[in-house]
Every structure is written in C-alpha cells, then in structure tokens.
C-alpha cells in the first residue's frame, strides 16, 4: 500500500512531458517541489529539435517562427545549466547583432517570476514589442506571468561595434537608460555602450 507521501509523488517522466509541451512554469514548480532531476538526454534532444527547426525556419524566411524556436531552445538550455530558476530560462536581453531601432524594458512578475527586468527589441512600435514579449512568455509556458512595460528608448549598433542608446517611447515613457546599458553590456561583453540624450 502506498503512503500519503508516495501517492503525492509524481513520476520523473511527468517533468519531461511538461517540458515537451513547453509548460515551463509547471515543470519548474514540480522540479522544486519533488527534488527530481531533469532528464538531460531528453532535454538535449528537445533543444536539438528546436535548433534544427529554427534553422529551417530562418532559411525559409520565417524569422518570427525561427526566433520562437530559438527562444525555446535557449530556455531549455538555461534549465539544464542553471536548474529550475525562471530568471535563467528567459533571455535577459534580446538585441540582435546590427540592430537599430526601438527597445523596451519589461518587468516580469507573478507565477514563477519575482521582479525580473528584461530588454526586448524588434518592432517598429513599442506596443508591438510588449505584445510580442507577452506572447513569448506565454509560449514558454508561463501563463501566470505578468509582463509590464518599464519604458522605452532606441538602440543601435555603430560601425565601430559600439552600441548607443537614445530617445524615449511616446507610449510608455523613457526607460532607465543606465539599466538598459547594463543589460546590453552583459549581452555584449567588451562592447562600448553609450547613452545619448
């Protein structure tokens, strides 16, 4: 006969199933509660699958879907390297090499997140960057997370490989450019990041 603690235990393959379904919030909660370990071979196979699909989508010109698959691969890599820490499975800064355009600082709270600030880019409108970030977090399996704007600006790569931040968002106001500069510097170590007003 099973004891209460045995009947409340969840098989380790339940974690793998949650990860296959990209339900990271539930998987992280289960890993923390149960003490189980991630099946690293299965997760590495998932990562390879997402990376392969990302490359295929990029080649086909479907950059949005390619980025989505690459984010999933990065999230699972973060889980393998750092364990069940939501701050490590969501990319802190998304600013593609050579980018010139709008950036938005966002705050992730609720669910598994405890006040995590991220920098996002990639659209002509700050509200679209926010919309896409909310879709990204939901796609990674964090349905209880709140994604709130902390202000925007512009960022761009210069020909000398330095990165500059300037301007503001008409919709969300100016972000903390010093914080944005620190986030970008962590993403691009060794690059000079400057702020122009």
Which of 87, 117, 139 represents a domain boundary (last residue)?
87
Given a contact cutoff of 8 angstroms between Cβ atoms, the answer to whether 105 and 180 are in contact is yes
pTM over 0.95: no
Q: In Å, how far are 58, 134, 170 from 73, measured between CA atoms?
A: 15, 18, 34
Sheet of 163-166, strands arranged across: 113-121, 100-110, 146-157, 163-166, 193-195
Domain membership flag for residue 191:
yes
Amino acid 33: pLDDT = 87
Please check whether residues 121 and 182 belong to one and the same domain.
Answer: yes
Please check whether residues 141 and 109 belong to one and the same domain.
Answer: yes
3-21 pLDDT, tens digit each: 333 334 446 588 999 999 9
Which of 62, 87, 112 represents a domain boundary (last residue)?
87
Domain membership flag for residue 29:
yes
Please check whether residues 186 and 105 belong to one and the same domain.
Answer: yes
116-151 pLDDT, tens digit each: 999 999 888 999 999 999 999 999 999 999 999 999
Give the CATH number, domain containing residue 117.
3.50.20.20
Which of 60, 87, 114 represents a domain boundary (last residue)?
87
Please check whether residues 17 and 80 belong to one and the same domain.
Answer: yes
Residue 68 above 60 pLDDT?
A: yes
**Residues 110, 127, 186, 38: what is their CA dihedral angle, to the nearest 10 degrees?**
40
Domain with 21, as residue range(s), is 4-87
């Amino acid at each position: 006969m099973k004891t209460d603690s045995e009947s409340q235990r969840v098989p380790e393959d339940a974690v793998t199933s949650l990860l296959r379904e990209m339900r990271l919030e539930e998987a992280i909660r289960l890993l923390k509660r149960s003490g189980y370990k991630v099946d690293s071979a299965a997760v590495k196979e998932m990562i390879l699958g997402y990376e392969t699909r990302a490359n295929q989508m990029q080649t086909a010109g479907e950059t949005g879907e390619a980025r989505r698959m690459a984010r999933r691969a990065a999230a699972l890599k973060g889980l393998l390297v750092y364990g069940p820490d939501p701050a490590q499975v969501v990319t802190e800064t998304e600013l593609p090499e050579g980018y010139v355009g709008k950036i938005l600082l966002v705050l992730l709270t609720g669910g598994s997140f405890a006040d995590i600030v991220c920098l996002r880019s990639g659209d002509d409108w700050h509200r679209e960057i926010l919309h896409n970030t909310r879709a990204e977090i939901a796609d990674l399996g964090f349905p209880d997370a709140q994604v709130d704007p902390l202000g925007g600006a512009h960022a761009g790569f210069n020909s000398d490989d330095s990165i500059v931040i300037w301007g503001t968002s008409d919709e969300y106001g100016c972000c903390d450019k010093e914080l944005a500069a620190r986030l970008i510097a962590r993403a691009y170590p060794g690059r000079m990041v400057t702020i122009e007003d």
